[in-house]
Amino acid sequence: PIGGLLVGCDENRQLDAQELHFLNEVLGYLGRRIRDEHLSGDKQNDINAFSDELISEKLDEDAIFERACKTISEVTNADSAIFWQYNKGFGFLFPKFFHFREGNIRHHASDKSMIFPEKDGFLTEMLKQNEVRAVENIIDHSQLSPTSAKTFSELHYRNVLVTPVKMGNTLSGLLIANKTDSDRQFSVWELHKAGEIVDRIRQVVRGVRTVKEANLQLKQLSRIFELGHEIKLDLAQEDILNRIVRSVRKGLGWNDVAILVKDELGASLQVSAKAGFSRPHNTGIDLTNSMALAAFETFLEKCQGLGNGYFYRTPEQVQPGVEAPGKSGMSGEPWKDEDLVIFPLETRGDLYGFLMVADPVNRLRPTQENISPLEYYANQSAVAIANMVLYEQLKASQQRYRSLAETMSLGLITCDLEDKVLYVNPAVRELLGKENRELIGMPLGDLFTPKSAQELQEMRETLLATESDAHTRVENLELEIVSVKADKIPVSTFAFPLFERRERSGYFLIINDLRVIKRLERMKADFNSMIVHDLRSPMNVIQGFIELIRNRVVGEINIEQEELLDIAKENVKKVLTLVDNFLIASKLDVGKFNIDPKLDEINTLIEKQVDNHRVLLKNKQITIEKDLDANLPLLFFDSLRIEQVLNNLFSNALKFTPEKGKVFVSTRLEKRNIEDNERFFARISVRDTGVGIPAHQIASIFEKYEQADENQSFNVRGTGLGLSICKEIVDLHGGEIWVESSQKDGSDFIFTLPIESSIEKIVN
Q: Give the pLDDT score at 551.
A: 86
Is residue 234 very low, low, confident or very high in pLDDT (cuts 50, 70, 90)? low
Q: Is 507 exposed, middle or buried (0-12, 13-18, 19+ CB in 10 A)?
A: buried
Range among 115-124, 250-259, 414-423, 752-761 with highest mean pLDDT value: 414-423
Question: What pTM, to 2 d.p., does this model score?
Answer: 0.45
Of 267, 275, 268, nearest in space to 290 by CA: 268
- The residue-averaged pLDDT of 207-223 equals 71
Torsion of CA 500, 502, 506, 509, to 10 degrees: 90
Q: Which helix (H) or strand (E) holds 122?
A: helix 121-129
132 in Cβ contact with 195 (< 8 Å)? yes
What is the phi/psi pair of residue 302, to 5°?
-80, -10
- Topology classification of domain 231-315+331-393: Beta-Lactamase (3.30.450)
Strand ranges (DSSP E) for 70-114?
A: 80-87, 92-100
Question: Rounded CA gap, 603 and 665, in Å?
Answer: 10
322 pLDDT more than 50: no
Considering the domain 42-213 in this protein, what is its CATH number? 3.30.450.40
377 in Cβ contact with 247 (< 8 Å)? yes
149 in Cβ contact with 120 (< 8 Å)? no
Q: Give the pLDDT score at 590.
A: 62
Of 580, 570, 571, 573, nearest in space to 533 by CA: 580
Considering the domain 594-763 in this protein, what is its CATH number? 3.30.565.10
- Angstrom CA distances, 495 to 464, 467, 489, stand at 11, 16, 18
Question: Rounded CA gap, 567 and 573, in Å?
Answer: 10
Q: Give the pLDDT score at 625.
A: 93
Count of residues in the chain: 764
Question: Rounded CA gap, 351 and 309, in Å?
Answer: 13
Question: Rounded CA gap, 12 and 9, in Å?
Answer: 7
Comparing 408-513 with 594-763, is the CATH topology the same? Answer: no
Q: Enumerate residues 6+ apart whose C-beta is below 8 A from 271.
A: 258, 259, 260, 287, 288
Q: Give the pLDDT score at 578.
A: 76
Name the residue ranges covered by the structural domains of the chain.
42-213, 231-315+331-393, 408-513, 514-593, 594-763
Strand ranges (DSSP E) for 321-375?
A: 340-347, 350-360
323 pLDDT more than 50: no
Cβ neighbour number for residue 191 with a 10 Å cutoff: 17
Identity at 210, one-letter amino acid code: T
318 pLDDT more than 70: no
Cβ neighbour number for residue 214 with a 10 Å cutoff: 10
204 in Cβ contact with 198 (< 8 Å)? no
Q: Give the pLDDT score at 27.
A: 79
Is residue 760 very low, low, confident or very high in pLDDT (cuts 50, 70, 90)? very low
Question: Percentage of residues in the chain with pLDDT exceeding 70?
Answer: 86
**What is the per-residue pLDDT across 619-673, written as a single tens digit (0 to 9) for each?**
888 999 999 999 999 999 999 899 989 998 998 899 889 998 999 999 999 998 8
Strand partners, 440: none
10 pLDDT more than 80: no
**What is the per-residue pLDDT across 709-718, written as a single tens digit (0 to 9) for each?**
545 444 444 5
Question: Rounded CA gap, 535 and 383, in Å?
Answer: 75
Sign of CA dihedral 732, 734, 735, 736: positive
Is residue 682 very low, low, confident or very high in pLDDT (cuts 50, 70, 90)? very high
Question: Percentage of residues in the chain with pLDDT exceeding 90?
Answer: 17
Strand partners, 275: 257
Identity at 567, one-letter amino acid code: I
pLDDT, averaged across the chain: 81
**What is the per-residue pLDDT across 402-434, written as a single tens digit (0 to 9) for each?**
888 888 889 999 999 899 999 999 999 999 999
758 pLDDT more than 60: no
**What is the per-residue pLDDT across 262-288, written as a single tens digit (0 to 9) for each?**
888 888 898 888 888 887 777 778 888
Sign of CA dihedral 367, 373, 377, 378: positive
Cβ neighbour number for residue 483 with a 10 Å cutoff: 14
Strand partners, 329: none
Question: Rounded CA gap, 522 and 529, in Å?
Answer: 10
- Angstrom CA distances, 601 to 597, 598, 683, stand at 12, 10, 13
250 pLDDT more than 90: no
Of 691, 696, 698, 694, nearest in space to 746 by CA: 691
Of 373, 311, 363, nearest in space to 342 by CA: 311
From 4-18, 650-664, 678-692, the region with the lowest mean pLDDT: 4-18
- The residue-averaged pLDDT of 99-123 equals 71
**What is the per-residue pLDDT across 592-611, written as a single tens digit (0 to 9) for each?**
678 889 999 999 999 999 98
Strand partners, 259: 273, 355
Q: Give the pLDDT score at 605.
A: 94
- The residue-averaged pLDDT of 336-350 equals 87
Identity at 191, one-letter amino acid code: L
Strand order in the sheet with 133-135: 92-100, 80-87, 170-179, 159-167, 133-135
739 pLDDT more than 60: yes
- The residue-averaged pLDDT of 184-196 equals 84
Question: Rounded CA gap, 387 and 352, in Å?
Answer: 11
104 pLDDT more than 80: no
738 in Cβ contact with 750 (< 8 Å)? yes
From 131-135, 516-520, 522-526, the region with the lowest mean pLDDT: 522-526
324 pLDDT more than 50: no
**What is the per-residue pLDDT across 452-477, written as a single tens digit (0 to 9) for each?**
999 999 888 888 887 777 778 888 88
380 in Cβ contact with 228 (< 8 Å)? yes
Is residue 749 very low, low, confident or very high in pLDDT (cuts 50, 70, 90)? very high
Considering the domain 408-513 in this protein, what is its CATH number? 3.30.450.20
Is residue 613 very low, low, confident or very high in pLDDT (cuts 50, 70, 90)? confident
Strand partners, 86: 93
Is residue 683 very low, low, confident or very high in pLDDT (cuts 50, 70, 90)? very high
Q: Give the pLDDT score at 752.
A: 95
Q: Give the pLDDT score at 449.
A: 93
125 pLDDT more than 90: no
Q: Which is higher by pLDDT, 18 or 51? A: 18
Strand partners, 668: 683
What is the phi/psi pair of residue 24, to 5°?
-60, -40
Looking at the chain, the number of H-run helices and the number of E-run strands are 21, 24
Sign of CA dihedral 419, 423, 425, 429: positive
**What is the per-residue pLDDT across 524-580, written as a single tens digit (0 to 9) for each?**
777 777 777 777 778 888 888 888 888 888 888 888 888 888 888 888 877 887 777
Question: Rounded CA gap, 243 and 231, in Å?
Answer: 8
493 in Cβ contact with 507 (< 8 Å)? no
Distance of CA 354 to the CA centre of its chain: 20
